[in-house]
Structure 1
């Protein structure tokens, strides 16, 4: 089995210095987080990695992760942050409207039960968006050349946000400790396990 890649937060320059296509449509967004994922593979493995990451059952995640998100959705319903009028196409326009023509022709797979709406999938990038009362966010996955990876590539995750005013900024600051203590560790471990399972199936 392939040795797992290290899991760690990365400096912002690791994201901003790369010629990602996502830069073209997120100039008014802030980079919130960049992480190295415990995922390595070959040059042609990225679409399969995205499929393994975005599919699967949420029960794969640890109980603490699922509990935190249950609380978060409950608070969202109570505060009205998840109502349709605060989402994509209502409070904010979808970034799909900003896509250049060539990216419009590269749709990404979609999960009916996911709160994220996919934007595009290339051989090196995947992007999806989400919006509510607190922010407009983008999840970006990248496939980067890595001399330390046995097959030459590893995965990175970046999160970009555009907070909705002072309320959005306060909310993002409030949940930051939970993201680092609970959400990201659980998310990255689950992504790594799903990729290992996908590799086993592909052998």
Structure 2
């Protein structure tokens, strides 16, 4: 379920001090019910190569097209990513976060872990269009349990990045997020089964 941006901004996340110059694009409640200490399990599941739930054909086709375009147009070259075009957010971290656990990098998409605490995990990616941040927090669900909450933050690369983000907006809401949330729900429900 899509949430208002205040669902992210009203919580005392450490990311606010690290990425205050990023725009909050989206905030979503993740279908990942659990107990108070299950963020690490969600992070490990999310970062794994085989999550036990395959994305839909539409989702796979959309991303295959995006990666093909990116390769063709040079959007995703190493010199346009984190550590080249943009510095890593790890350079902004206070000592306790920098010296603490990073968390795993994602196996299937080009996100690199920035930091991991008991309640939040941050990963970043960069290309010619945008410097993007994925923030997954572990929050009370209002019914005595907990669940994940996904926030996507971006810093578009100039006018090109802003136009790109505007162009992909309908695809994100109509195709990407519904498929992603369905995959997460299926995978989380069946984790450890089999």
TM-score (norm 2): 0.94
Deviation string 1:158-186 (CA, Å, 9 cap, x unpaired) is 00000000000000000010011111011
Match of 1:56 among 49, 61, 70: 49
Match of 1:187 in 2: 180
User: 1:60 aligns to what SS in structure 2?
Assistant: coil
Provide the aligned C-alpha RMSD in A. 1.6
Cα distance in 2 between the residues matched to 1:27 and 1:143: 20
TM-score (norm 1): 0.90
Give matches, 1:47-196, under 5 Å: 47-57=40-50, 60-104=54-98, 105-149=100-144, 152-196=145-189
Provide structure 1 residue ranges, at least 5 long, that are not aligned to the other structure.
Answer: 1-7
Cα distance in 1 between the residues matched to 2:189 and 2:97: 29
Cα distance in 2 between the residues matched to 1:87 and 1:181: 27
Q: CA deviation at 1:200?
A: 4.2
Deviation string 1:119-169 (CA, Å, 9 cap, x unpaired) is 1111110100000000000000011112225xx211110000000000000
More deviation, 59-68/109-118 = 109-118
Cα distance in 1 between the residues matched to 2:163 and 2:69: 15
More deviation, 53-62/133-142 = 53-62
Conserved in 1, the CA contact under 8 Å of 2:21 and 2:155? yes
Q: How many residues align?
A: 192
Provide structure 2 residue ranges, at least 5 long, that are not aligned to the other structure.
Answer: none
Q: CA deviation at 1:45?
A: 1.1
Cα distance in 1 between the residues matched to 2:17 and 2:92: 8
Q: CA deviation at 1:31?
A: 0.3
Match of 2:21 in 1: 28
Cα distance in 2 between the residues matched to 1:25 and 1:166: 24
Cα distance in 2 between the residues matched to 1:138 and 1:119: 9
Cα distance in 2 between the residues matched to 1:109 and 1:77: 25
Q: CA deviation at 1:107?
A: 1.5
